[in-house]
Amino acid sequence: MSVALGLKRPLVVRTVPVSDPGDLIARLPGVAPHAWVRHGDGLVGWGEAASVRVPAGLSGPARFAWARAWLASIFRTAEIDDPVGLPGSGPVAFGSFTFDPASAAGSTLVVPRTVLARRDGRSWLTTIGEDALDLMTPVRTPGRIRYSDGALTAMEWEHAVATAVKEIGGGRLDKVVLARDLIATADRGIDPRALLARLARRYPECYTFSVGGLVGATPELLVRHTGRAIESLVLAGTAPTGSDPGDLFGSEKNQYEHVCAVASVRDALDPLCATLDVPDRPELLVLPNVQHLATRVTGRLSDGASVLDVVAALHPTAAVGGTPTATALEVIRELEDMDRGGYAGPVGWIDARGDGEWGIALRCAAVEGDRARLFAGCGIMGESDPVQELAEAQAKFRVMRYALEG
């Protein structure tokens, strides 16, 4: 837990309106960027006014409660001058939480020293402490990339999928999301800014993010919180882009997989909400690599719960865990043979009002030095074909392979 050296507590925070900064990602001066950008809008941050690692011993929703209490202690005492007054103005923290509720090790929150943001045609700059001179270092592409298997080879993973199908057939559970990792090694140190730029250009519909070394472009919004209004985009059920959407809508397997994911979100949000709207039928979300069944859930909170309180209630949804949740988590631990880290965990930002946007960290990689660990997973049902699921995982890997290779 730390407040950056050279910064006084309480933090002195100043937000000023600025003219349109253009491409937010191109404004990131250094190689440890924080970013959350979609269709050009969003927040980018750099430097550290304060940061914390959530204690490894905390599990489940307690991780989020602890993080929220830490943030409250930082924000409560801050001297804030914020004439903009929009979600994301004033001080913000970027965060990434581990997928596995049993271990918080690696979950982190960072309050950047500088945040540049744009929302609906308005832009602002937030700085904490004295003005710092941020020298722009040139963005370097990673060069040649070599790939090697992560925890499981493709064949071993297919075998894991087949085992999951048997467990489902035997009645142990209804759905489980199985993932695998792939190791990429680059010629030189990987600059996340190079990846962010490519991701934002090719996947404008997704949330391009970078928090604590986790870099990706996720289509799945866990929750957006604006005052008391909340919104979530539930995805489950996937087909390659270009295939007939009628097949996806007509597939019982994909429909049921989607129903499981929507039910988990509805059950988590219902107790928190005064009103909740869950459409009866999914729509189609088409991305350059895959298309998904998608349900947009909207609601109004019944009290002043913050976005992190909502994240705590939602995670892990059946889009990345399974049904029932506890059994799915057991099966994931048994069959994946790896630690997901922040993959499939919540990633996003929160401001001092409790507003924020959090996604599920999908289509991403954990980047460290010249290595990136890529992740991709698929919802497994009783009728799943291991060969098809492997092909779906490969299609999902394409997002980060493109980010690395261009």
Ligand X SMILES: C=C(O[C@@H]1C=C(C(=O)O)C=C[C@H]1O)C(=O)O
Which residues here bind ligand X, judged by CB under 6 A? 177, 179, 220, 235-238, 292, 319-320, 362-363, 376-379, 396
Report which DSSP code applies to 228: T
Bridge partner list, 34: 45
**Cα separation of 196 and 27, whole Å?**
12
At 30, list the tokens: 């250094």
User: 40: which residues sit within 8 A by CB, 6+ positions away?
Assistant: 23, 24, 118, 200, 204
Q: Which of 48, 158, 167, 175 is catalytic?
A: 175
By C-alpha distance, which of 277, 278, 297, 301 is closest to 227?
Answer: 301
Distances (CA, A) of 56 to 212, 215, 321: 16, 22, 20
Residue 360 C-beta: closest distance to ligand X, Å: 7
**Cα separation of 346 and 379, whole Å?**
18
Q: Which residue type sits at 61?
A: P
Residue 104 C-beta: closest distance to ligand X, Å: 21
Residue 343 C-beta: closest distance to ligand X, Å: 7
**Cα separation of 333 and 261, whole Å?**
20
Residue with tokens 């350059």: 288
User: 62: which residues sit within 8 A by CB, 6+ positions away?
Assistant: none
User: How many CA atoms does the CB half-sphere of 138 hold within 13 Å?
Assistant: 3
Q: Which of 158, 167, 220, 336 is catalytic?
A: 220
Residue 378 C-beta: closest distance to ligand X, Å: 4
Which of residues 112 and 213 has its CB atom nearest to ligand X in the complex? 213
Which of residues 50 and 178 has its CB atom nearest to ligand X in the complex? 178
175 classed as catalytic: yes
Residue 397 C-beta: closest distance to ligand X, Å: 9
**Cα separation of 272 and 263, whole Å?**
15
Dihedral class, residue 248 (left if φ above 0, else alpha if ψ from -120 to 50, else beta): alpha
Residue 359 C-beta: closest distance to ligand X, Å: 11
Which of residues 7 and 177 has its CB atom nearest to ligand X in the complex? 177
Neighbouring CB atoms inside 10 A of 22's CB total 11
Which of residues 28 and 393 has its CB atom nearest to ligand X in the complex? 393
Which of residues 47 and 282 has its CB atom nearest to ligand X in the complex? 282
Which of residues 78 and 293 has its CB atom nearest to ligand X in the complex? 293
Distances (CA, A) of 166 to 57, 163, 362, 396: 33, 5, 26, 24
Active-site positions read: 175, 220
